[in-house]
Structures are given as structure tokens and as C-alpha cells.
């Protein structure tokens, strides 16, 4: 059978990995796919570098339009990134009857509904395993492996940069700024790390997983997103004393009122498996009603790990290339006409437990004032830790762990606590999840 022809848009870190792994494992991949998979054309603005990478194995062009409109190309692999030109090229490839494989989580989280609708209308596939958690096959697990389940919730460490920073802060007691600089020097963080450290990258990935888990449209604009820039070594140390570790988690949960969709630093019990995921590794925990909890772990980025996911998609598309579109796995696991209008909950309606750190004057009555405010708000205190003031200081830290309450109620209580004359500055708030 004639090999399937692939057009590659971008041959940077991931693109070069795709090319190398396809070349190295061509025989194995062909045995699995049932036919060969060949890179026909590579589009990259740096033509000379691209030619040096692919040699005579593929045609190299600077204009990506020559790939997405080429009638000889069956599948377009988009590895450019971003929202602009990538969206234009993906939609153009679909309009020309090409299947698309992409690692672009930002594109799908913001324009996925439009892209999936266009693909369905044209009868082509859009595959995106590499868009979430790099080399971990979590999209396939959620979309196909857990089909029998009513998925209840997902919680994941889905950004390696932030996990590396938090791991280093915990193990070495270093400040956020110090570890961020170290991460940039090691190549784990971009020169502009905003998408990572502010939680945006994780929210893109979580939005996609949430849509697949609950059969809803992608709705990134409704996600609650909070990064790690405000975390201090003190919070990490106090959490450890209380038996917790702080991780930047993406959490999506089905409730009677709607779907939670949130990314923020989270206290997780130190004994939990996900609390022990260190460095740049990723991990996703999914809870189904039939299977219970399942855990997926592995590298969330990197040239060949991400290439592994891209090529897995290429093999899937190759197998189903000639199949009736009605019999393919739907893009978001549920049939397009069966997607739910279950709303995304505002953060104020989300209920969870809390860690609070307050800097207070070391004088009588302070604790009574704070606990009275919590009691009046209906917030039950689970644990309380009062630190001794440093020598020569008249201020001390109080750490409070609460039982479950809503974000809206907690917002009101914190505002009243911060208004006390004995409380210095802002209350540090970190949400806490047991993941049971």
C-alpha cells in the first residue's frame, strides 16, 4: 500500500524529534500502522537549518501554504504554536481535505470548537495527543480507555516548568525568583515564562481534558487561573510541617451545579502519589465511577517524548484514513450533537479546603478575633499553627487549615480578617485538596 504522506509545519524542538523518531523506527511504525508514514514536505522559515536536518529525505519550503494546499499530502502536522498563523493554516488544511495532527494546546483551548466543527463538516480528523502532558497518552486514555466511565474529576500536574520550580523551592528552601532564573539557565523555562508561571499553559491543557471528560465545548475563557509567583519558601515549609506539599494543579470536577475548571497552587497530602512527582515530570489523576482512580505519569515535554505522542496520532490517523467518518472516535469523545451545556462554575461557587497564613501582632486577643470571624462566616477550622515570633520582633505567623467552604464565603472572611488592626498585610491563601 502507498505510504501516507505527511506535511510538517515547523521543525524546531518537537518537529525535529518527529522526523528523527519516524526515521529511526520506520519499520516498527509501519508494522503497527499497516502502511508506511513518510514526511513529504517540511515548512520552516529557517530553510537552511531545516535542510540540514532532513537532508534529501523530504522537500523543504519556507511557505507553509505550499504544504496545506498540496494535493499529494494526506496529513498536516502543525508544530508552529500560537493562536494566529497556526489557526489560519489548520483551517486551510482542513478545507483542503487534510487530516491534522497538532501539539498546540493554546490553539485548541481557544479555537478548538471552530476547528473541530470545520473538521467534522469536512469529514477529516484532528488529533492532538501531544497537546496535553507531552509523552503521556492521557488524551487517548480519557477519550477511549475510560469510555465506560462517568468521569467525576481530573487533577493534574501538567506544567513541568512550575513543577520544577516548586520542587527546587521545597528541597532547597530557595526563593521563587532564584529558582526561576535557574530554570531559565537549564532551558526548562522560556525567556518570557509568563504562560508557565502564571498557570496559563496548564489552563490550556486542563480546558481540553475537561471538554473530553464531561462532553462539553472547550471554554478556556471561563477557567480560573492562578500561578505560582506569589508563593514563598515560608508557605512551602509550613505546608511541609502540616503534612502537605504544594503543587500547581489543574483541577476539573463535575458537580450538581456545573463543572469546576481551575488552575492554582494546591496543598496535597505529602503521602499522595501526585505529591511526590518532582522536577519537570507531569502526572494526571482521573477518577471514574467504574474504574476508580487512575494515574498517568511521565515527561510532559521534550523533543522525543512529545514526538512519541505526535507519531501515535499519525498512526491512528493512518489506520482510520479511509474509514467512514461516522465511525471514528469523536474529537471530544462525545458525538458532536450530544455535547452538554453544563455550565462552568465561577470560582466563587467552588467549594474546597483552605490554607491561610496571616502575619499578626503578637498580643492578646488576636486569635480570638480571627476565629470569631471564621465562626461567623460558618468556616470550620481543621488545624491551627501559631509560630513563635523571631527574636526582637513583635509579629508572628499564624497558619490555619479550614474545612470545606466556598470561595465566595472565604473571600468575605479574608476581607474582614485583613481589616483587623492586628493583621499585617494580605492573608496568603492556598487551596487544599485531599484527592480522595
Cell of 167: 520542587
In 140-243, the DSSP E strands lie at 151-157, 224-225
Per-residue pLDDT reduced to its tens digit, 318-364: 998 877 888 899 999 999 999 999 999 999 999 999 999 999 998 88
Q: Is 222 a catalytic residue?
A: no
Q: Using an 8 Å Cβ cutoff, are 215 and 333 in contact?
A: yes
The whole-angstrom separation of Cα 162 and Cα 180 is 9
How far separated are the first and last CA of the chain, in Å rounded? 50
The residue ranges of the chain whose pLDDT is under 50 are none
In angstroms, what CA-CA distances link 247 with 131, 169, 173, 240?
A: 21, 11, 15, 12
Closest residue by Cα to residue 60 from 70, 47, 49: 47
Q: Any residues with CB less than 8 A from the CB of 427 and at least 6 apart, and which?
A: 356, 357, 358, 414, 417, 418
Main-chain phi, psi angles of 140, to 5 degrees: -65, -40
The pLDDT value recorded for residue 141 is 97
* Given 98, 105, 205, 247, the catalytic residue: 205
Q: What is the dihedral of CA 41, 42, 45, 50, to 10 degrees?
A: -120
Closest residue by Cα to residue 246 from 301, 169, 159, 351: 169
CA-based diameter of the chain, in Å?
Answer: 83
Cell of 334: 462525545
Amino acid at each position: 500500500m502507498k505510504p501516507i504522506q505527511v506535511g510538517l509545519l515547523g521543525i524546531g524542538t518537537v518537529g525535529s524529534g518527529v522526523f528523527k523518531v519516524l526515521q529511526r523506527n520506520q519499520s516498527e511504525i509501519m508494522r503497527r500502522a499497516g502502511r508506511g508514514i513518510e514526511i513529504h514536505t517540511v515548512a520552516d522559515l529557517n530553510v537552511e537549518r531545516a535542510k540540514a536536518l532532513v537532508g534529501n529525505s523530504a522537500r523543504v519550503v519556507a511557505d507553509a501554504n505550499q504544504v496545506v494546499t498540496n494535493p499529494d499530502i494526506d496529513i498536516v502536522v502543525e508544530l508552529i504554536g500560537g493562536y494566529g498563523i497556526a489557526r489560519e493554516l489548520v483551517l486551510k488544511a482542513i478545507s483542503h481535505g487534510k487530516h491534522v495532527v497538532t501539539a498546540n494546546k493554546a490553539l485548541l483551548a481557544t479555537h478548538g470548537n471552530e476547528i473541530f466543527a470545520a473538521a467534522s463538516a469536512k469529514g477529516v480528523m484532528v488529533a492532538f495527543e501531544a497537546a496535553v502532558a507531552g509523552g503521556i497518552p492521557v488524551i487517548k486514555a480519557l477519550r477511549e480507555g475510560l469510555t465506560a466511565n462517568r468521569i467525576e474529576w481530573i487533577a493534574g500536574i501538567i506544567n513541568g516548568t512550575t513543577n520544577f520550580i516548586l520542587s527546587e523551592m521545597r528541597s532547597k528552601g530557595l526563593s521563587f525568583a532564584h529558582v526561576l532564573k535557574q530554570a531559565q539557565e537549564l532551558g526548562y523555562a522560556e525567556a518570557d515564562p509568563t504562560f508557565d508561571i502564571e498557570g496559563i499553559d496548564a489552563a490550556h491543557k486542563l480546558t481540553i481534558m475537561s471538554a473530553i471528560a464531561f462532553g462539553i465545548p472547550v471554554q478556556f475563557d471561563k477557567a480560573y487561573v492562578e500561578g505560582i509567583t506569589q508563593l514563598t519558601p515560608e508557605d512551602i515549609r509550613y505546608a511541609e510541617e502540616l503534612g502537605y506539599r504544594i503543587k500547581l494543579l489543574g483541577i476539573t470536577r463535575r458537580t450538581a451545579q456545573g463543572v469546576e475548571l481551575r488552575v492554582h497552587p494546591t496543598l496535597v497530602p505529602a503521602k499522595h502519589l501526585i505529591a511526590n512527582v518532582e522536577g519537570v515530570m507531569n502526572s494526571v489523576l482521573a477518577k471514574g465511577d467504574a474504574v476508580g482512580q487512575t494515574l498517568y505519569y511521565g515527561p510532559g515535554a521534550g523533543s522525543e517524548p512529545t514526538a512519541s505522542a505526535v507519531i501515535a496520532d499519525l498512526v491512528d490517523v493512518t489506520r482510520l484514513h479511509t474509514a467512514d467518518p461516522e465511525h471514528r472516535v469523536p474529537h471530544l469523545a462525545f458525538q458532536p450533537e450530544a455535547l452538554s451545556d453544563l455550565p462552568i462554575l465561577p470560582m466563587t461557587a467552588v467549594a474546597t479546603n483552605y490554607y491561610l497564613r496571616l502575619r499578626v501582632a503578637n498580643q492578646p486577643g488576636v486569635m480570638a478575633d480571627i476565629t470569631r470571624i471564621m465562626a461567623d462566616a460558618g468556616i470550620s477550622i481543621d488545624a491551627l499553627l501559631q509560630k513563635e515570633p523571631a527574636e526582637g520582633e513583635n509579629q508572628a505567623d499564624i497558619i490555619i487549615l479550614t474545612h470545606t467552604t466556598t470561595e465566595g464565603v472565604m473571600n468575605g472572611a479574608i476581607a474582614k480578617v485583613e481589616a483587623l488592626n492586628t493583621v499585617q498585610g494580605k492573608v496568603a491563601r492556598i487551596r487544599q485538596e485531599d484527592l480522595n
